[in-house]
Structure 1
Amino acid sequence: MKPPVPRCGWEGTCGTMGTPSPRAVLVLAAALAGLSAPRAAHGQPNFIVILADDVGWGDLGANWAETKETPHLDEIKAPRAAGASWAMAGGYRSGINSETMFCGFHAGKWHLGHHGHHHPSFRGFDYYFGIPYSHDMGCTDTPGYNLPPCPPCPRHSAAARVARKDCYTEVALPLFENVTIVQQPVNLSSLAARYAEEAARFIRRASGSGRPFFLYLALAPMHVPLEGPPPPPASGRGDNGPWAQKCELAGCLGPFLGAWQRQRGGSSAKQTTWEGGHRVPALAYWPGRIPAKRTSPALLSTLDIFPTLVALAGAALPPNRRFDGLDVSPVLFGWSDVGHKVLLHPNSGAAGKDGEIAALRLAQYKAFYTTGGAMACDGSIGPAEHHQPPLIFNLDRDIQEQEPLDVASREYQAVLPAISRAYAQALEDIATDNVSLADYSQDPAVTPCCNAEHVACRCRAPGSRAAALGHRAEQRATRLCL
């Protein structure tokens, strides 16, 4: 795996796990890349889903000419040789609930709850190898290079604590194998390579078994850059170049500038609900089934992955619950360009309460109820503003989100009632949903800790167990999938 690179691009793991087979399914969402594996002996497809945290729409060279660092991903979108690909023009960041009916392996970042039945081992996966949340949500001995950098884990109780909102120093970041913490703190510098190795091993073993499998690989190296030494503080440079370039590593916007917000200061990218903050690339690969060199304008979401894979596996969704995602296999196969009519955009770090619906998409219209509050690469923070009635942009004409519709215009007045109904329905739906919260920094019962007697929960000497881990994981994957 390559480390994160300057500017907008990051190549990911495409090309590291074998040669694509023409008898496989590859579903990729929210800037995903990966390779396929043979179809199971009894005719069911295998599924590989690779999620790359924080990759922006413009991080693919096939989307944005200024990006030069993603040749393998670009080939998936527009293959030079025989094969097939599909590109989703309107994918959006969102949560993903991973359940599987096949032999299932999840490697990487989970971040859907690590305590009790929220753990991936109790969510349908036969094998889990990864970290329970983002790799900057616990201290390590090899911290990622935030600016300013977070300190490494303390090694004795007398070590000075650094109080910073964006740094976690009390609990070391754990690496799980199933429900067991096998390394705490995890070594971040080798983590991405270990994910790739575990995924490749799983594919080989599962492919030879004849059982269908589901691999979910969640990569996070772009969330905070991990490779390369930080430059001297006096240089005024960030992780992989000037601060503006480091900031771009949160995801290249491409043409989605959020110009209205930029005029007022503050970010229109990560943590915001502007198109640059939520719109991401998606690729899918299934030779012989997915038409080659096709880009769909359908409005899709990562929430669609689960119902789509269930449908492709010939199964049915549980009837006793509601699903926000759609089966979008007709879009994949080129039969339709119809996706969601309405998508919700929750706040994730900008103005307002986290999780509140800050914006709503209705067909080509985007309505904003809250704007501002996120830091831009120049350090500015736009003023927090609440809009009632909402700002409404027509993205068909204004993809840069530069000029909202005039409230007095016929177009605004015509679309506002439908937007208001969709917004009210969304709030009602959320109010009746099940919500669970657990903060490990506040509740010791949910703290992932393999040695509470040691500062930061440090639990092993470097190298004491790592050598045996790969062999044991290979044996486990063999047992599960035979």
Structure 2
Amino acid sequence: MNYLSIFHMVLLGFILHPCNGKDGSHDHVDMLESLAFERKPNIVLLVADDMGWGDLGANWLWAPSTVELFLHSKARTATPNLDNLAMGGLRFTDFHTAASVCAPSRAALLTSRLGLRTGVVQNFNVDAIGGLPSNETTIARMLLDTGYKTAMFGKWHLGLSEGHHPLDHGFQSYFGVPYSVDMGCTNPPGLNIPQCSGCAQDNDLPEWKHDRQNKFINVSISNCRGDIAIPLFSNHSIIHQPVKLEKLSALYGAFAENFIFNSDDNGPPFFLYGAFSHVHVPLLTAHGSNQKDKVFEEALAEVDEVVGRIARAVYKIRLPLKKSISSSRETLIWFLSDNGPWEVKCELSGSWGPFNGDWQRNPYAGGGGGASKQTVWEGGHRVPSFIHWPSRVKGGRVSKELLSAMDIMPTLASISGANLPRNRLFDGQDISDIILENKKDHPYYLGNGLSRTSRTLYHPNSGASGHDGEIGAIRIGNYKAVFYSGGAPDCSGYYPPRANHSQDPLVFDLSIDPAEASPLSSNTEVYSWVKSLASDALISLYNSLKSDNISTVTFATNPEARPCCAKDSLVCRCPWD
């Protein structure tokens, strides 16, 4: 990155982060009271797909609020807009999703409830007849009921049948690909490992044959699905099938801009949930080289570009004039990823940062394999996250507190004055005290190094170990007890063995061993203490399920349930596509 590019990034940061003149000396209670008397803020919740902790450039900075350190950092060049927003807000370094695979992570994010409560413990297929249960309340439903205007773009992955569509869960408008972009074919195909073919023409299927389930499977390529083209939805209607992958980011950006610019400052506040399809494979960009060794960073840059468009729209900055139109309503932007990188995709996947999962990768310890997406190791569920809210959140700060994506719903309820449903239990916590802590004498790094030792987070198995949804590991402050080990396939495709440690869990001290390389000796007092706390926490969780309003989910499939633009087309191709 040259100095001119960095100057433009810093200048953009100043454009996106106007000074507000407030001294920030109010305490948390005063802040919440003032919010109650002022208009509710707009809320933008942005979720990247398969973006690792190390893919956010700002996460590599020791003090990202200083330009000098930024100039000498190892920050990646692909995320200048995200870096500027993170540097101007509150960045979380110990932030976790509630699962390390798509659908369970998203269900928990939107409901503040583990999959053990919602029933969503695995992904839904293209032709699934089920989805997120209708009795589960989402963030969108909660905010809609308190007066917000709601919209969503991107990846839903929580069902499309009646009662499960985004419009059935509190969103007033929806635009996007409803599941992962590898769950079907496109023309041209994006880059993937193994590489898949594009959608076959309906009357020309030389490479494809029927299997016993009446699906078209490429004879020479594994893990490729050719019986259905990837659809693009506008509300309930399919507008393209197959979608053009290289145009998808720009379409998401345009939808977001239109929604924001058409929201009146004097009307109701808005909630925009943006769930990007990138950087999940297959990858294809509009303006990049689309070479295998470069396309991941190019796709990450496209996500960053859309985030920049959304930020400029929020602050009413219309390019190329860069003229800001004063907005009287505040806007909170919260960014995160759904899980860590999918390393079986090799150079088409991202970075887990310093959270290597070394014990698992060691062939003489965990047996080798990957330690990110689908696993209970840190690289699977510790994700990049930050909040940007200039008028309320003091910029240039970092929180080391142990936090969860499930904290988002109760926190937004507190900030917006919404009410959480009273007939169920939630696994997230209201962290508005951390977000709104703006005292002048507060240290740059929030947290006391113990990372809330009283805080417990549960990490469910997500495909690489144990039964799906069952708790595979528990965080207690800086300590982590692993009950089920097992790695996901790594770049070589090796799938390591699984192991059950439920009687004697592996215990790691992440404050000195973030790479999870060396578990504590079982003969130490600390080990016994953590083991006891983890066992008690596990018993407490399972006991809570007995008194909770638990949902049930079906993962059954039916070919008639697949989204299809034209039933007479072998791949559901729209006549106009």
Pair in the same fold by TM > 0.5: yes
Correspondences of 1:26-41 after superposition (within 5 Å)? none
| Deviation (angstroms), 1:169 | 1.8
Distance 1:444 1:21 in 2: 52
Kept in 1: contact 2:194–2:222 (CA 8 A) = no
Asked if 1:226 is matched to 2:284, the reply is: yes
1:361 to 472, 475, 490: 475
1:181 to 217, 235, 238: 238
Kept in 2: contact 1:244–1:378 (CA 8 A) = no
TM-score normalised to the size of structure 1?
0.79
Aligned to 1:48: 44
Kept in 1: contact 2:192–2:348 (CA 8 A) = no
Deviations 1:235-294 (A, max 9, x none): xx69659x9896255331211111111212211122221111111111111113112211
Distance 2:410 2:430 in 1: 5
Aligned to 2:85: 76
Return closer, same or farther for 1:318/1:194 CA change in 2, 3 Å cut-off: same
Distance 1:121 1:370 in 2: 37
TM-score normalised to the size of structure 2?
0.67
Q: Secondary structure at the match of 1:455?
A: coil
Return closer, same or farther for 1:332/1:123 CA change in 2, 3 Å cut-off: same
Correspondences of 1:333-348 after superposition (within 5 Å)? 333-334=436-437, 337=447, 341-348=455-462
2:526 to 394, 404, 411: 411
Deviations 1:303-333 (A, max 9, x none): 1212211221112111112222222111111
| Deviation (angstroms), 1:168 | 2.2
Asked if 1:434 is matched to 2:490, the reply is: no
1:380 to 494, 499, 503: 494
Kept in 2: contact 1:183–1:460 (CA 8 A) = no
Aligned to 1:29: none
Asked if 1:116 is matched to 2:171, the reply is: no
Distance 1:348 1:422 in 2: 20
Asked if 1:138 is matched to 2:184, the reply is: yes
Return closer, same or farther for 1:244/1:327 CA change in 2, 3 Å cut-off: closer
Distance 1:218 1:149 in 2: 25
What amino acid does structure 1 have at the position aligned with 2:554?
L
Structure number with higher relative contact order (C-alpha < 8 Å, ≥ 6 residues apart): 2
Distance 2:222 2:545 in 1: 28
Q: Secondary structure at the match of 1:72?
A: helix
| Deviation (angstroms), 1:430 | 5.6
Return closer, same or farther for 1:141/1:426 CA change in 2, 3 Å cut-off: farther
Kept in 1: contact 2:357–2:379 (CA 8 A) = yes
Aligned to 1:323: 426
Deviations 1:117-176 (A, max 9, x none): 111101111111112111111222233211121222222266213166632222222211
Correspondences of 1:233-252 after superposition (within 5 Å)? 247=346, 249-252=348-351
What amino acid does structure 2 have at the position aligned with 1:461?
W
Distance 1:305 1:205 in 2: 26
Kept in 2: contact 1:58–1:67 (CA 8 A) = no
Asked if 1:213 is matched to 2:270, the reply is: yes
Distance 2:487 2:542 in 1: 22
Count of aligned residue pairs for this structure pair = 419
Distance 2:232 2:171 in 1: 16
Aligned to 2:91: 87
Kept in 1: contact 2:343–2:372 (CA 8 A) = no
Kept in 1: contact 2:344–2:492 (CA 8 A) = no
Q: Secondary structure at the match of 1:359?
A: strand
| Deviation (angstroms), 1:51 | 0.7
Kept in 2: contact 1:171–1:456 (CA 8 A) = yes
Deviations 1:383-441 (A, max 9, x none): 222213111111122111111111121111112111012123334556763131334xx
Deviations 1:428-471 (A, max 9, x none): 556763131334xx313432223222112112323xxxxxxxxx
Return closer, same or farther for 1:424/1:152 CA change in 2, 3 Å cut-off: farther
2:218 to 162, 167, 172: 162
Kept in 1: contact 2:53–2:353 (CA 8 A) = yes
Return closer, same or farther for 1:305/1:153 CA change in 2, 3 Å cut-off: same
Task: Tell me whether 186-195 or 208-217 shows the greater mean CA deviation.
Answer: 208-217
Kept in 2: contact 1:344–1:360 (CA 8 A) = yes
Compute the RMSD of aligned alpha carbons: 2.9
Aligned to 1:290: 393
Task: Tell me whether 260-269 or 93-102 shows the greater mean CA deviation.
Answer: 93-102
Return closer, same or farther for 1:420/1:245 CA change in 2, 3 Å cut-off: closer
Distance 1:174 1:405 in 2: 49
Distance 1:424 1:238 in 2: 47
Distance 1:216 1:307 in 2: 16
| Deviation (angstroms), 1:366 | 0.9
Asked if 1:152 is matched to 2:198, the reply is: yes
| Deviation (angstroms), 1:229 | 6.7
Return closer, same or farther for 1:231/1:107 CA change in 2, 3 Å cut-off: closer
Deviations 1:329-355 (A, max 9, x none): 111112785768111212223133333
Distance 1:429 1:452 in 2: 46
Asked if 1:400 is matched to 2:515, the reply is: yes
Aligned to 1:276: 379
Aligned to 1:256: 355
What amino acid does structure 1 have at the position aligned with 2:469?
G
What amino acid does structure 1 have at the position aligned with 2:507?
I
What amino acid does structure 1 have at the position aligned with 2:81?
H
Distance 1:248 1:281 in 2: 20
Report the structure, 1 or 2, having the larger helix content: 2
Kept in 1: contact 2:484–2:498 (CA 8 A) = yes
Aligned to 2:171: 125
2:409 to 280, 284, 306: 306
Aligned to 1:350: 464
Return closer, same or farther for 1:238/1:379 CA change in 2, 3 Å cut-off: farther
Return closer, same or farther for 1:327/1:46 CA change in 2, 3 Å cut-off: same
Distance 1:445 1:321 in 2: 34
Distance 1:59 1:223 in 2: 13
